Structure 1
Amino acid sequence: MTARVVLVCGPAGAGKSTHARALERAGYVRLSFDEAAWEQGLREHPLPADAAGQVHAGLHVRLRTLVAAGRDVVVDTSFWSRASRDAYRAVLAPLGVVPVTHLLATPPDVVLRRLAGRTGSGPHDVVVPPALARAYLDGFEVPTEDEGPLVVVAGGA
């Protein structure tokens, strides 16, 4: 049986990690960009491009290994650009896996409120200043069905 892979997509504060943990409870292995970065001592976002590339490279290796073992995987990162989503699709294509993108559709005011309450206490609580939060929202490239399977998930209040 071919492994299933979900790419959880949305801006910071959209609820991606909460959604990914629910899939983890359903049997998926969860790969978290923020946790991997935190483990490497990277605490401020956005990460420099080289550091982000290294974190993603590590996730790619783990993803390939898990999928080759037949495990279902959920990847928890912003996937803010189509290019970032395509990079993971390229990792999976030789394995015969077409990932499903889960877009967390969370109202911008909710995202901004959640980010304003962050304290920096852990990998899913990284402080995002208001101007950066707005830039994340404005720069987010919403996935479309022409990229592949897409599920829109309500991001809550």
Structure 2
Amino acid sequence: MKGPRLAIMCGLPRSGKTTYARGLQEAGWVRVCPDDIRRALHGRSHYPPAEPVVWANAELAVRSLLLGGHAVVVDATHTTRARRAPWVRMARELGLRLEAYVLETPAEECRRRSRESDDPVPPEVIDRMAEQWEPVEEDGVEVRTVSGCGGA
């Protein structure tokens, strides 16, 4: 893998995004995860007042890594066009193709996995994100569908 590459994970909580992204990491990608940034900044998985700082840190880290020639995967839900927009803009600015790994895990399976998790996501959050889901159809984004990915 030569030169910078940018990819984003797209899918519901507990769909298997992190499992898949860690596989890319093992193949040489650098994984940037806003959840990790959240825990580092304020010790919680989600604290709404801190979200602008979390995403500013994620964007800065990704841009720096890309400018350093790395392949970077952003491990977050990216369920809406608005959430994907910063990465689409960044890829265009840097002359890169954006790859989107779309996990097709049904909401019912995500809720089941969450119930069995040590760090469950409230079912209403999974349902709300499923309702908000917008297909990945942005210009210049190469969609890679992932089916059957195991998750936590």
Structure 1 distance, partners of 2:140, 2:134, is: 12
AA at the equivalent of 1:25: E
> What amino acid does structure 2 have at the position aligned with 1:39?
A
Q: How many residues align?
A: 149
Matched, 1:129 2:122: yes
Which aligned pairs between 1:67-146 and structure 2 lie closer than 5 A? Answer: 67-120=66-119, 127-144=120-137, 146=139
**Pairing 1:39–2:32 present:** no
SS in structure 1 of the partner of residue 28 of structure 2: coil
1:17 maps to 2:18: yes
Q: Quote how far apart the aligned CAs of 1:75 are.
A: 0.6
Runs in 1 of length 4+ with deviation above 4 angstroms? none
TM-score by length of 2: 0.88
Q: Please, what TM-score do these two structures have when normalized by structure 1?
A: 0.85
- Percent identity over paired residues: 30
Residues 57-68 of structure 1 mapped to structure 2, 5 A cutoff: 57-68=56-67
SS at match of 1:102: strand
Mind listing any 5+ residue stretches in structure 2 that lack a counterpart?
Answer: none
Larger displacement relative to structure 2 (145-154 or 79-88): 145-154
Aligned to 2:4: 3
Q: Secondary structure at the match of 1:97?
A: coil
User: How many Å separate the matches in 2 of 1:89 and 1:117?
Assistant: 34
- Alignment-derived partner of residue 141 in structure 2: 148
Deviation string 1:95-123 (CA, Å, 9 cap, x unpaired) is 11121111011122211101122333xxx
